[in-house]
């Protein structure tokens, strides 16, 4: 029988969070249905995360494990879970329980009202630094300003999706899986439920540290718009026009008999400014070319080493 709900949880070095997560999520799911599955997608870990999950899976067939062949990262692990989920509704949630499992009840009620996607919108974010909050806020502003689709602010991957949204996600063969953007791209009727995000009980996040967040943000920006390239083209045209006008002014002043003393600081500033602009433009082009290169190779987003209870 097809499960009513599939819960997908990417994990990496989270041995202390597995048991409290299972207890909390099962308690919530049993208020909805007995037909559910909890799918852990494991990036090979250095601690005993895998053995802890297997010990629960051995006694409960509703707990399932997908072990990847190497560390592919959180976005790929999440996509792997989505591809292997069989539930009528699919929930994506982190294992650290910063996103409270009881919110799944509210999401389910919204789905039953006719929505296809219900995402959790964070009101407060305990345990996160001021810098991280502001970086996230800035990232969402930039992505939404640049992107051709609207990606909700203060929203992570925590969400519930209907089966038709999941089926459409499975048909998107993009190497760089930015789930928030992909779900917005798929569309259908979407809404949110608000909640206060808790601080972690055990340890620190192994995913989405500073550079990981930057990488995911770049995927969100570059994979959903070409506006940065258009901006670079505009800036190139603008500064070329300024350069031409400055050259024309110098020519006219020379013809009029004025002698202008060359300024070394001005020369250095101009050279360094335009050199920096050129490097930024090349770097931006490199980001697009790199993603094109990844897409045309058509390599799989993930490789599965082992599946348990499927």
Strands 155-162 vs 89-92: parallel, antiparallel or unpaired: antiparallel
pTM score of the predicted model: 0.69
Residue 293: what pLDDT? 64
Task: Name the helix (H) or strand (E) containing 185.
Answer: helix 179-186
Residue 209: what pLDDT? 54
Residue 26: what pLDDT? 92
Residue 246: what pLDDT? 67
Residue 66: what pLDDT? 93
3-state secondary structure of 178: coil
54-86: buried (b, 16+ CB within 10 Å) or exposed (e) per residue?
Answer: bebbeeeebbbbbbbeeebbbbbbbbbbbbbbe
Instruction: Tell me which residues of the chain have a pLDDT lower than 70.
Output: 125-154, 175-177, 199-231, 233-237, 239-244, 246-247, 250-251, 254, 257-270, 272-273, 275-276, 279, 283-284, 286-287, 290-291, 293-297
Residue 141: what pLDDT? 62
CA 299 to chain centroid, in Å, comes to 20
Residue 37: what pLDDT? 92
Contact between 62 and 53 under an 8 Å Cβ cutoff? The reply is: no
Residue 181: what pLDDT? 73
């Amino acid at each position: 029988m097809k499960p009513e709900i599939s819960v997908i949880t990417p994990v990496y070095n989270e041995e202390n969070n597995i048991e409290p997560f299972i207890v909390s999520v099962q308690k919530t799911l049993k208020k909805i249905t007995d037909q559910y599955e909890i799918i852990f997608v494991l990036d090979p870990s250095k601690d005993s995360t895998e053995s802890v999950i297997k010990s629960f899976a051995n006694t409960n067939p509703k707990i399932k494990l997908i072990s990847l062949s190497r560390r592919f990262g959180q976005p790929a692990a999440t996509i792997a879970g989505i591809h292997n989920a069989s539930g009528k509704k699919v929930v994506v949630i982190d294992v650290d329980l910063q996103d409270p499992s009881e919110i799944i009840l509210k999401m389910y009620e919204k789905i039953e009202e006719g929505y296809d996607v219900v995402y959790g919108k964070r009101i407060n974010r305990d345990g996160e630094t001021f810098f991280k909050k502001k970086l996230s806020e800035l990232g969402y502003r930039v992505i939404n300003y640049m992107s051709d689709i609207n990606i909700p602010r203060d929203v992570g991957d925590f969400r519930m999706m209907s089966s038709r949204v999941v089926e459409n996600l499975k048909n998107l063969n993009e190497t760089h899986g930015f789930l928030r953007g992909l779900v917005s791209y798929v569309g259908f009727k979407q809404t949110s439920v608000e909640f206060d995000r808790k601080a972690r009980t055990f340890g620190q996040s192994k995913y989405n540290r500073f550079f990981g967040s930057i990488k995911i943000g770049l995927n969100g920006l570059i994979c959903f718009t070409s506006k940065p390239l258009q901006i670079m083209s505009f800036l190139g045209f603008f500064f070329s026009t300024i350069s031409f006008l400055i050259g024309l002014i110098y020519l006219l002043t020379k013809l009029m008999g004025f002698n202008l003393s060359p300024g070394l600081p001005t020369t250095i500033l101009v050279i360094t400014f335009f050199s920096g602009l050129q490097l930024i433009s090349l770097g931006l082009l490199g980001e697009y070319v790199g993603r094109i290169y990844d897409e045309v190779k058509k390599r799989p987003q993930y490789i599965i080493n082992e599946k348990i209870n499927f």
